[in-house]
Amino acid sequence: MKVRAIRGATQLEADSVEAMKEAVVDLLSTLFQENELEVDDLISILFTATSDIHSDFPAAAARTLDLGAVPLMCAQELTIEGSLPLVVRVMVHAYSNRNHAEIRHIYRRGAQSLRKDIAQ
């Protein structure tokens, strides 16, 4: 099996704990399903959030998926004028038998505009 990095992003409806949980769970669940990943396949997950998000950590929302001992880390995204607001980005590191062309990068809830070239 090879190590793969799988990208994704989602946009929150509002800066709230509920919106964070809903968006992050939706993003990760879809990413895991589309790439046929199980918790044991996961190495680590890195989240970034735009500077307008203050309500919760994306990793806290992800923990509701029962990810066990998977290391999670959050960071703040660069503040760039004109960038999409209320965005959580993710990079999942996982073991997979898929080649690069078979990996499905997932962009949800308005975040598809960030990477039209790879968004599923």
Summarised one tens digit per residue, pLDDT across range 42-83 is 999 999 999 999 999 999 999 999 998 999 999 999 998 888
Q: Does a structural domain hold residue 71? A: yes
- Report the catalytic residues: 7, 63, 74, 77, 89, 107, 115
pLDDT at 119 over 60: no
Q: Does a structural domain hold residue 42? A: yes
Q: Does a structural domain hold residue 39? A: yes
Find all residues with CB under 8 Å of 11, minimum gap 6, and list them: 23, 84, 85, 86, 87, 88, 108, 109, 110, 111
Task: For residue 21, give its domain range.
Answer: 2-114
What is the Cα gyration radius of the chain? 14
Q: What is the mean pLDDT of the chain?
A: 92
Q: Does a structural domain hold residue 26? A: yes
Report the pLDDT value the prediction gives residue 93, as an integer from 0 to 100.
Answer: 98
Q: Does a structural domain hold residue 85? A: yes
Read off the CATH number of the domain in which 17 is found: 3.30.1330.40
Q: Does a structural domain hold residue 68? A: yes
Number of folded domains in the chain? 1
Q: How confident is the model at residue 116 (pLDDT cuts 50, 70, 90)?
A: low
Q: Does a structural domain hold residue 119? A: no
